Structure 1
Amino acid sequence: MKRFKRTIKRLFMVLFVLVAFMYLNNSSLLTKVRDEPPLLLAHRGLAQTFPMEGITGDTCTAERIYEPEHPYLENTIPSMEAAFIAGADIVELDIKPTKDGQFAVFHDWTLDCRTDAKGMVKDYSLAELKKMDIGYGYTADNGKTYPFRGKGIGLMPSLDEVLNYFPEESFLIHIKSADPAEGIQLAEYLLKLPKQRLNQLTVYGDDKPIRSLKKQLPSLKVMSMETLKSCLLPYLGIGWIGVMPSACENTQLHIPEKYAPLLWGFPTKFLNRMDSVNTRVILVAGNGGWSEGFDNKQDLERLSPNYSGGIWTNRIDVIAPIIKE
């Protein structure tokens, strides 16, 4: 009986030491203080927003926008410029291949929802796309009025135009399809850029194009569901002892707000660990569905007071002034 009691006592001691180690090794109490403001990522620049309820992959979001509070249309140079002026550190944009081998900056699978044209972006040359009115389909009152009709002609830019217009700014480029050939095409384009410019760019998208892109540009920061899982699943297993999985190195993580507290050391120690392996963390609102962002003061109140990683927002004009305060 005495031996049994001694064994139980030792087990409790070992368990106590283990729990104490796990707590102290992942506590913000014993880590470098982070006093810099959060990094602000403006989704599609400064864009028209809409209610997220009931959205599916086929929803035409231009037909359900809120009453416009500003004159900008997503994925255009004016909207990106407005976002940077407002305080964005990074602007996210969407790309689609054109018929003549360029990349147009445009979000939807088809042109039908937002523009006065039909079909796919890939069915048109860039010159043809420039003639379209990308503000044609926007309405806030179920089609009674269309406040942006006639104002979006010529506003669909190419990726080349965007990067030339903003030579010093950082971008998150979204490959919209699951086609690995688009990853190869983008890699061939990016390989022509100086290394310094590549350091300002990150690419995310489906597993297949990101995988093919990464093969040709292994040093480029990328993000896909595959790269996210390859980092975070091992981290959940061994991160509590401070060991960083190799898959977490030199990448970008888009982490839904709902799951972030499950990560060892979140927020401060987790962010410091990711900084140590040159990885950027972007927090997405909610469960990560449909590009939900931190878009108002109430959203920001859910953040930890010492959170200084990246924040995904659809309303950089609202969020940046609050952060600056």
Structure 2
Amino acid sequence: MGRKLRFATLALMAVAAGVYLNNTSLLAPHREGKPVLLAHRGMAQRFDERDLKNDTCTATRMLPPTHDYLENTLRSMRASFEAGADVVELDVHPTTDGEFAVFHDWTVDCRTDGQGVTREQSMAKLRMLDIGYGYTADGSKTFPFRGKGIGMMPTLSEVLATFPDKQLLINVKSRDPGEGEKLAAVLNALPAARRGMIMVYGGDEPIDMIRRLTLGVRTISRAAIQSCLIRYMGYGWTGLVPTACRNAMLLVPINVAPWLWGWPDRFLNRMANVNSAVFVLGPYSGGKFSSGIDTPEAFARLPQGYSGGIWTNEIEAIAKIAGKSKD
């Protein structure tokens, strides 16, 4: 019995050693270079993020502005790239006249001087709206951007034409598979090299459609990211990468990352080998994904020498910390 116990112990030690060697980041090649910075909504006005709900009008909760950029505009995107962003995130909605409007909200009531569901309007009508109309930082006493955002809502086609060589992340706001089919048609009309610089995330149904209809575009949805991370934590120690993690854009909360086999370098290498890009968010809490890596304290939680992706709402501040500011 003693001999069997010793044999079993040695076998377990050998397995443990194999798992360690297969997953330790100490033995993995380290990708040199600076982090890849993703500017969420471009250069945008920040707002009080406490107790947010799906229908919260964040424009009325704006913090005192430190700049005059409005999210999801060409001007905002250009400023983000100039500040050091490698990728800019933008939101889209299909319009009744066949375009994709670049705008965050499901309705135009909060930020603009218009009313109604965004996708139920024509681009011609949306173009007439003042997208800075609803922003206030003092309880509606003043509206510093009112009258300054008329005609500034762009189309996706304009974004693609304005930034032909830049990386973009497109957010599909609906769960309509038909929207995924329409967006897939737009993406498939682009050269293969250009498609490779675009990522798409959003509702499960449209993202599934895009994933099936397009080649070279990395995607992710809530169901896919949960499937990817849960399965990877379950058997990623083998070196196998779940299907949901392949050809994907992965969002990893910073408090979940240490639980991923091989974090950081071996994990990043495994994902790169299956054409997936990894971006770290702020902590996952209360069943919700966080906003981003937006402060020096959050940035300090990243591994030393981290060269993967970072999702941020504060591109100017984080670009300076990461050594990517162009100032």
TM-score range, shorter chain: over 0.9
Secondary structure of the equivalent of 1:324?
coil
Match for 1:72 among 69, 74, 77? 69
Could you say if the C-alpha distance between residues 248 and 122 of structure 1 is closer, same or farther in structure 2, counting changes exceeding 3 Å? Answer: closer
Q: What is the CA–CA distance in structure 1 between the aligned matches of 2:196 and 2:215, rounded to whole Å?
A: 12
Q: What is the CA–CA distance in structure 2 between the aligned matches of 1:169 and 1:8, rounded to whole Å?
A: 60
Q: What is the CA–CA distance in structure 1 between the aligned matches of 2:115 and 2:290, rounded to whole Å?
A: 25
Q: How does 1:223-302 map to 2 (within 5 A)?
A: 223-287=220-284, 289=288, 292-302=291-301
- For normalisation by structure 2, the TM-score amounts to 0.95
Report whether the alignment pairs 1:197 with 2:194. yes
- For normalisation by structure 1, the TM-score amounts to 0.95
Q: Aligned partner of 2:283: which letter? A: G
Report whether the alignment pairs 1:129 with 2:126. yes
| Deviation for aligned residue 1:121 | 1.4
- C-alpha contact (below 8 Å) 2:69/2:75 kept by paired residues: yes
Q: Aligned partner of 2:192: which letter? A: K
- C-alpha contact (below 8 Å) 1:170/1:200 kept by paired residues: yes
Per-residue CA distance 1:10-47 (angstroms, 9 max, x = gap): 12111111222222221122110222111000000000
Indicate the percent of aligned positions where both proteins have the same amino acid. 50
Extract structure 1 runs of 4+ deviating beyond 3 A: 288-291
- C-alpha contact (below 8 Å) 2:196/2:216 kept by paired residues: no
- C-alpha contact (below 8 Å) 1:65/1:140 kept by paired residues: yes
Q: What is the CA–CA distance in structure 1 between the aligned matches of 2:273 and 2:59, rounded to whole Å?
A: 41
Q: What is the CA–CA distance in structure 1 between the aligned matches of 2:270 and 2:244, rounded to whole Å?
A: 13
| Deviation for aligned residue 1:291 | 5.0
Q: How does 1:307-322 map to 2 (within 5 A)?
A: 307-322=306-321
Unaligned runs of at least 5 residues, structure 1:
none
Partner of 2:101: 104
Root mean square deviation of aligned Cα = 1.4
Q: What is the CA–CA distance in structure 2 between the aligned matches of 1:63 and 1:247, rounded to whole Å?
A: 38
Unaligned runs of at least 5 residues, structure 2:
none
Q: What is the CA–CA distance in structure 2 between the aligned matches of 1:147 and 1:62, rounded to whole Å?
A: 11
- C-alpha contact (below 8 Å) 1:52/1:290 kept by paired residues: no
Which stretch of structure 1 is more off in the superposition, 190-199 or 107-116? Answer: 190-199
Q: How many residues align?
A: 322
- C-alpha contact (below 8 Å) 2:197/2:217 kept by paired residues: no
- C-alpha contact (below 8 Å) 2:252/2:278 kept by paired residues: yes
| Deviation for aligned residue 1:290 | 5.6
